[in-house]
Chain A
Amino acid sequence: MKLALEQLIKGIHDLPSLPAVVMDLLGTLEQDDVDVSVLAKKVSLDPALTAKTLRLANASAFGLQVKVTTIQQAITFLGLNTTRNLITAAALTGCFPTGRCPSFDDKAFWRHASATAICARALARRMRFNQDVAFTAGLLHDLGQLVLVCSHPDAYGAVLAWRRQHGCTLLDAERAVLGVDHVDAGVALATHWHFSDTIRQAIAHYHAPETPGAGFLAAIVHVADAIVHALDLAGDADELVPPVSSVAWDAMGLNEEAYLYLFQETERQCGEMSAIMSA
């Protein structure tokens, strides 16, 4: 079953909307002058979003010594940027209905997404790049998969069967079966949800970070994605490490010791967060 671009876009329009407060948040990722009290009040109007954000905030990955019980407290103890990441993460999981495609493992998807976000943030810290942008890009990099799964579940089942049969990457299986891939779907979603150009570029190019104009964020997400596949953190039996771009790898400029520490840090932080994300 080949999908036309129009069908892809229709599938995106049929998805639930991203809460307005999250759209606002994503628009402020690269701003520091955000009115914190207005933000806290807006988020608090959504009880489900608030509850999930607070569960994430209290996960051990964020190292809080006290339990936070309000968004305002989370901002006070974790800072605006981390809280903004957590609200975004909490909101995204609620936007995609689960269980439509029996052979697609939603929990494995979120394990991979949250681990990539954590690894991208750790890489960004070493690169002195904006850690919040890297975290968000890591979290969002594969959202196109959810678009395809939710809008064309039967066809996506055929994609997964093709991947298993041919032992290829998901991207190759999607192109073979659907004629489009999750990068196309992710870029279309990023446009529909008004993600920043920086995030949209990372989603568009993280599979080919050597593309001229791809940007450094695409290289960070590319390397984080490969590391998370190699650490086998999603728990997917068909897991496959994608080819690593030498351009992106060299751009990180890290030695073996730094990578070994990064692997350990990523493994340590991702378990609890992915459990909350996929709950």
Chain B
Amino acid sequence: MSTKNCEHEFFMSDSDLFSLYSSGGLEKTILMFKGLLTQDILVVLAEMLTNNLSNDPRQKTTKKMFSIFVELAQNIHRYSAERFVVEGKDVGAGIVLVNEFKTYYTLISGNVIDNEKLQVLKNNIEQINNMDEESLKNYRKDKLKQKREEGDKGAGVGLIDIARKSSRQIELRIKELENNKSFISFYILLEKEL
């Protein structure tokens, strides 16, 4: 007789997994990943994503997609409040989702952040969304010339690059959680360029 028990309380129920599976819109999801965004995983996901773009002979959309995806994933890596140490490196966790529609792609990323960082992020997005192409270009150059803040490995231009390469304004959604934390998500639209 088997001694293995089948105790369902250890797992999510089947319907939970199905709701997750179908939430991206079954046939449209070209990539969904939740977990630690290590450099190795980022490389695999970015290559997988851009190798699979259909009908992009001049690679215009592919290059933009690659760039937006890397910036979103590295923002999670740097700024997620859910952090783990992997092979001696401090890594952030989050979720990324890429869907394909007839004339465009959507890229969505999400992670938890401390509420104290929310206001700066909101202001930054609002400022970027209100800029035209020329102002974004100049703003980016100012940021590249600025001295780095202590301990910041980023350049502060990831969101500017996302805004310049995407086809609509960056949409930031915020869901408040407990313990002074919030779940933030970026919604990015990229039109197919033929």
B partners with A: no
